[in-house]
């Protein structure tokens, strides 16, 4: 028998979940809390196996509550349960000690699957959240490439600097204001970790950017 | 008593700004000057003085107005700003006397404009101050004491920049004290009138009349009985020592008896003595034919008799006050007299008479309120008209300036070509170029002006945007939360129910209507999430700009048409929430534009933050546009981006090359 605590300030959601599992013999709703404080009080005296946790609570951020619960209770499996599907939120939930992530408009089967996975010490992410995490992973991998990606304007300016043009010269050639050129140059130096223009050109040559 | 408008100070305010000693002017000698003088300044001077004399002291419009107009055209032709300012002042005062508030305000505003051109600094400031003071006077007379106070304080500021002039300062202090008194701020009134005391020896005696009036009032109103008594003694001594003409001396006498009576009524409660003073006040008022004072003193006689319980004497006095008030259309005193009469009649058990006056009092009260409202309305109308005029004038000035510029340009060309013709083709070329350069310079000048206007508009825009955007974002956050928690939760729960139903009644799976409903609920719930997300992404609030932007890029890239990559540098620390939201909106808008218009396949968003410098670059490889083209076809998206960049006090530079792409770069100073 697995006991469940639902933490959500929306009473309907709790009822909906209760209804979904009413015919599942090994699941039992042990409690429902509408606020973080209620949940923390409840957890002083109860030890649910599964905690379904919403992100937006009236008195505390759900993410924060997740790490608070995890600090005190290493046993319970926490599943984030929200209506927003954003990679940053999903990963933060996991980082704060959650075991899974579900979207509120889940199917009954998805909920049962999630519970099954987390009780067996596996991480469960809803399909849509999985997709977001994957996108996130791709973009981060791209961003972590060694060679910085330059914008078109940066490439042009770098090439002109390489050919001995000065700031005003570049501004005139590219029909840009000097201020704009200078900002591009400062950005370039930050990206290539250079403090001076000669240094910038050296790094650029090392990376074969010019 | 405290509610009374200080006519003395108001009249004085007007006198003060009129040519000196207008009453003592010799008409004939002025006419001689006008006929014989060859100097414009002297002639205009004499014409203005005479016109003012005719209008103000002889009420002779037929002679005064044409003379005034003649002075105006002479002054305009000879470009004499000082005289023009005086013209506007006199004309404004004339309109003021005709109760034409809009006209009077309009002319005072014109006076302020023309005064700016007066070369002598002291004269210039003086004229500006006088016009401001008189603007205040108009508000004052119309019962808008707050408006009057604002203008008076402004005029005071102007006077303080001028070489010390006791009379100017004292006038403004008196007027300000009077404004405060009528706003029932007696402490303030006392404070301002007290500022005059050290300057007393430098002041002209004429000014002392209203000064002592306000001084006494403020002393009585702040319970300074001792001081008020001393003020009365000074006024009394003034009969022998002040240098005043007969009319002014009469005013002083009226004032003295009025205030002595009030002093006895309020401070000593010696009603017998009060009665005596009010009788003297009444007598002096009748000698001066001062209607307002006659009625007011009669009424006060009634109150003194009432306090002495001499009802049989009070009744005829008050009935007379009532009749006079009706005759002179002083509804305020008619009301007061009627009320007091009603009270006294009921006291002497003449109830039918009492009822009569009580009924009259009620009617009077209604009519006073409605006539006050009417007055207020008329004044509002007048202010509105003056404002409209100003706007029309501004428009006309702009048109004229544009026309002049055209003429100048054309003349230059004609000049260049005609000289060029005589000097040969080479020179022609040279001069043409010269003219062209001048034209360029002129255009540049115009450009600078345009830029200034744009700058002002920008400022205006920023201010209104700030409040609008702040409200907008708060509202969006609220709606997004409501959608998520309310509607979103509801749809999710419906779906949970369907899901359970489907599980418990497996045959429903074959029911098309059920499947369809299930799908629709699913779609609806997705839709709510999408809308709430666009409105205010949770991740933006909780995780910050970079993560929110990354997810925005990811979800666009997931659509496969456009790949957006994110390059954040130095963005480890979060910015202030409002800056983050604003920058996020800018990026949303720019990406929207790229998707809609650019046909780009790739885009980069880049953040560079070093210290308090933040630059945001958005670049695409789309078809680009020329900026000239966008002038004729304004990009709605870009203008809202620009407003938001302005809101963050940033700079935006958009450079676009056809068939190559567009780079938008924005930089900001972050102070946090």
Q: Answer for the pair B340, B318: CB distance below 8 angstroms, yes or no.
A: yes
Mean pLDDT, range B551-560, rounded to an integer: 89
Mean pLDDT of chain A: 91
Residue B304: predicted pLDDT: 93
Question: What is the fold, at CATH topology level, of the domain defined by B539-669?
Answer: Heat Shock Protein 90 (3.30.565)
- Of A64-73, B53-62, B444-453, which gets the smallest average pLDDT? B444-453
Q: Answer for the pair B666, B589: CB distance below 8 angstroms, yes or no.
A: no
d(CA B159, CA A58): 59
pLDDT (tens digit, 9 = 90+) per residue, A144-168? Answer: 776 788 999 999 999 999 999 998 9
Residue of B291 and A182 predicted with greater confidence: A182
- Which region, left, alpha or beta, applies to residue B79 given φ > 0 means left and ψ of -120 to 50 means alpha? left
- Of A195-209, B45-59, B105-119, B599-613, which gets the smallest average pLDDT? B45-59
Q: Please check whether residue B531 touches A, CB under 8 A.
A: no
- Nearest Cα to Cα of residue B263 among B219, B307, B310: B219
Q: How far is B384 from chain A (nearest CA, A)?
A: 45
Residue B18: predicted pLDDT: 40
Q: Please check whether residue B420 touches A, CB under 8 A.
A: no
Nearest Cβ partner of A84 from B533, B617, B621?
B533
Q: Answer for the pair A132, B547: CB distance below 8 angstroms, yes or no.
A: no
- Nearest Cα to Cα of residue B57 among B91, B101, B23: B23
From-to residues of CATH 1.25.40.10 in chain B: 1-244, 245-423
d(CA B542, CA A65): 14
Tokens linked to B295: 């009625």
d(CA A111, CA A126): 9
For residue A17, what pLDDT band results from cuts at 50, 70 and 90? Answer: very high
Place of tokens 């009236």: A58
pLDDT (tens digit, 9 = 90+) per residue, B158-216? Answer: 888 888 788 888 888 988 998 888 888 888 899 999 998 888 888 888 888 888 989 99
Q: How far is A19 from chain B (nearest CA, A)?
A: 7
CB contact under 8 A, B497 and A187: no
d(CA A56, CA B99): 65
Tokens linked to A192: 């290539």
Q: Answer for the pair B231, B212: CB distance below 8 angstroms, yes or no.
A: yes
Q: Answer for the pair B515, B509: CB distance below 8 angstroms, yes or no.
A: yes
d(CA B629, CA B409): 26
Nearest Cβ partner of A139 from B490, B522, B566?
B566
Mean pLDDT of chain B: 82
Domains and CATH numbers, chain A: 2-127 (3.40.50.2300), 152-206 (1.10.10.10)
Residue B20: predicted pLDDT: 38
Q: Please check whether residue B653 touches A, CB under 8 A.
A: yes
Mean pLDDT, range B342-347, rounded to an integer: 88
Q: Answer for the pair A156, A184: CB distance below 8 angstroms, yes or no.
A: no
What's the residue count for chain A? 210
From-to residues of CATH 3.30.565.10 in chain B: 539-669
Residue B425: predicted pLDDT: 59
| Chain B, window 561-600: residues with a beta carbon less than 8 angstroms from a chain A beta carbon | 565-570
pLDDT at B420 over 70: no
Residue B94: predicted pLDDT: 87
Angle in degrees, CA B516, B521, B527, rounded to 5: 125
Q: Answer for the pair B43, B205: CB distance below 8 angstroms, yes or no.
A: no
Q: What is the largest CA-CA distance in chain A?
A: 78
Nearest Cβ partner of A86 from B551, B565, B655?
B551
Nearest Cβ partner of A143 from B555, B566, B663?
B566
Chain A residues close to B491, C-beta within 8 Å: 105
pLDDT (tens digit, 9 = 90+) per residue, B487-541? Answer: 888 899 999 999 999 988 989 888 899 999 999 999 998 888 888 888 888 899 8
Mean pLDDT, range B455-474, rounded to an integer: 64
pLDDT (tens digit, 9 = 90+) per residue, A66-123? Answer: 999 999 999 999 999 988 888 999 999 999 999 999 999 899 999 999 999 999 999 9
CB contact under 8 A, A15 and B493: yes
pLDDT at B422 over 70: no
pLDDT at B384 over 80: no
Q: Please check whether residue B503 touches A, CB under 8 A.
A: yes
d(CA B302, CA B205): 33
- Nearest Cα to Cα of residue B25 among B8, B9, B43, B47: B47
Angle in degrees, CA B93, B99, B100, rounded to 5: 80
Q: Which CATH class is domain B1-244?
A: mainly alpha
Q: Answer for the pair B88, B110: CB distance below 8 angstroms, yes or no.
A: yes
Q: Please check whether residue B651 touches A, CB under 8 A.
A: yes
What's the residue count for chain B? 672
Mean pLDDT, range B444-459, rounded to an integer: 66
pLDDT (tens digit, 9 = 90+) per residue, B582-624? Answer: 899 999 999 998 998 888 999 999 999 998 899 999 999 998 8
Residue B351: predicted pLDDT: 81
How are beta strands A50-53 and A2-7 bridged, if at all? parallel
Q: How far is A13 from chain B (nearest CA, A)?
A: 6
Nearest Cβ partner of B617 from A84, A143, A151?
A151
Residue of B nearest to A145 (CA): B567
Tokens linked to B325: 């008030």
- CATH of B245-423, picked from 3.40.640.10, 1.25.40.10, 1.20.1250.20, 3.40.50.80, is 1.25.40.10
What is the C-alpha radius of gyration for chain A, rounded to an integer number of angstroms? 26
Residue B547: predicted pLDDT: 93
Tokens linked to B587: 């990026």
């Amino acid at each position: 028998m697995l006991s469940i605590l639902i933490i959500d300030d929306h009473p309907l959601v709790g009822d909906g979940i209760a209804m979904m599992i009413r015919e599942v013999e090994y699941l039992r709703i042990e409690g429902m809390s509408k606020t973080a404080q209620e949940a923390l009080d409840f957890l002083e005296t109860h030890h649910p196996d599964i905690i379904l946790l919403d992100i937006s609570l009236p008195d505390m951020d759900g993410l924060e509550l997740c790490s608070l619960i995890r600090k005190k209770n290493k046993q319970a499996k926490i599943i984030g349960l929200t209506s927003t599907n954003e990679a940053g939120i999903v990963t933060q939930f996991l980082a704060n000690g959650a075991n899974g992530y579900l979207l509120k408009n889940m199917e009954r089967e998805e909920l049962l699957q999630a519970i099954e996975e987390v009780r067996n010490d596996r991480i469960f992410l809803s399909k849509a959240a999985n997709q977001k995490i994957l996108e996130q992973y791709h973009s981060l991998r791209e961003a972590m490439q060694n060679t910085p990606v330059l914008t078109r304007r940066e490439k042009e300016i770098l090439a002109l600097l390489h050919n001995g043009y000065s700031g005003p010269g570049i501004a005139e050639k590219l029909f840009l204001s000097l201020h704009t050129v200078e900002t591009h140059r400062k950005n370039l130096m930050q990206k290539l970790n250079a403090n001076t223009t000669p240094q910038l050109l050296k790094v650029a040559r090392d990376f074969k950017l010019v | 008593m405290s509610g009374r408008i200080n006519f003395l100070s108001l009249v004085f305010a007007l006198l003060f700004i009129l040519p000196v000693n207008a009453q003592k002017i010799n008409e004939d000698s002025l006419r001689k000057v006008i006929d014989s003088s060859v100097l414009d300044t002297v002639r205009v001077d004499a014409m203005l003085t005479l016109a003012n004399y005719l209008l103000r002291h002889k009420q002779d419009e037929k002679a005064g107005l044409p003379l005034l107009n003649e002075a105006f055209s002479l002054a305009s032709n000879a470009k004499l700003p000082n005289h023009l300012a005086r013209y506007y002042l006199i004309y404004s005062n004339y309109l003021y006397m005709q109760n034409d508030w809009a006209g009077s305000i309009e002319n005072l505003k014109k006076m302020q404009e023309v005064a700016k051109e007066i070369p002598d600094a002291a004269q210039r400031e003086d004229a500006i101050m006088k016009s401001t003071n008189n603007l205040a006077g108009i508000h004052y007379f119309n019962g808008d004491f707050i408006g009057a106070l604002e203008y008076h304080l402004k005029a005071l500021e102007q006077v303080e920049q001028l070489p010390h002039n006791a009379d100017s300062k004292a006038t403004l202090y008196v007027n300000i004290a009077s404004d405060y008194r009528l706003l029932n701020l007696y402490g303030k009134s006392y404070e301002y009138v007290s500022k005059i005391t050290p300057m007393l020896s430098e002041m002209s005696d004429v000014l002392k009349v209203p000064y002592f009036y306000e001084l006494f009032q403020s002393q009585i109103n702040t319970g300074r009985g001792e001081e008020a008594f001393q003020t009365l003694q000074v006024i009394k001594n003034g009969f022998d020592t002040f240098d005043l003409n007969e009319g002014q001396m009469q005013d002083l006498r009226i004032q003295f008896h009025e205030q002595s009576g009030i002093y006895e009524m309020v401070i000593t409660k010696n009603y017998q003595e009060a009665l005596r003073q009010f009788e003297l006040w009444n007598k002096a008022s009748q000698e001066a034919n001062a209607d307002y004072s006659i009625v007011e003193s009669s009424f006060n006689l009634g109150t003194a008799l009432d306090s002495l319980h001499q009802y049989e004497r009070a009744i005829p006095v008050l009935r007379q006050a009532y009749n006079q008030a009706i005759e002179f259309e002083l509804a305020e005193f008619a009301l007061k007299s009627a009320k007091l009469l009603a009270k006294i009649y009921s006291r002497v058990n003449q109830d039918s008479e009492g009822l009569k006056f009580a009924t009259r009092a009620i009617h009077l009260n209604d009519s006073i309120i409605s006539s006050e409202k009417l007055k207020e309305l008329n004044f509002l109308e007048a202010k509105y008209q003056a404002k409209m005029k100003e706007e029309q004038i501004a428009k006309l000035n702009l048109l004229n300036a544009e026309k002049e510029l055209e003429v100048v340009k054309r003349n230059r060309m004609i000049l260049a070509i005609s000289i060029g013709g005589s000097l040969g083709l080479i020179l022609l070329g040279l001069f043409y170029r010269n003219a062209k350069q001048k034209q360029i310079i002129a255009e540049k000048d115009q450009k600078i002006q345009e830029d200034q206007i744009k700058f002002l508009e920008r400022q205006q825009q920023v201010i209104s945007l700030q409040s609008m955007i702040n409200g907008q974002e708060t509202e969006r956050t609220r709606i997004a939360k409501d959608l998520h928690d309310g509607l979103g939760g509801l749809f999710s729960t419906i779906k949970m129910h369907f899901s359970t139903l489907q599980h418990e009644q497996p045959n429903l799976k074959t029911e098309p209507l059920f499947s369809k409903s299930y799908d629709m609920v699913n779609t609806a719930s997705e839709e709510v999430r999408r809308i709430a997300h666009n409105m205010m992404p949770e991740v933006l609030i909780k995780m910050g700009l970079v993560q929110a932007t990354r997810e925005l890029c990811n979800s666009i890239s997931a659509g496969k048409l456009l790949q957006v990559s994110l390059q954040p540098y130095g963005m480890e620390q979060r910015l202030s929430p409002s800056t983050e939201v604003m920058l996020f909106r800018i990026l949303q808008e720019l990406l929207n534009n790229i998707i809609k218009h650019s046909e780009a396949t790739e885009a980069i968003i880049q953040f560079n933050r070093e210290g308090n410098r933040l630059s945001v670059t958005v670049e695409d490889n789309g078809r680009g546009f020329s900026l000239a083209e966008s002038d004729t076809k304004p990009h709605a998206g870009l203008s809202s981006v620009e407003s938001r960049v302005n809101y963050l006090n940033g700079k935006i530079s958009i450079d676009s090359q056809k068939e190559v792409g567009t780079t938008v770069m924005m930089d900001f100073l972050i102070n946090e």
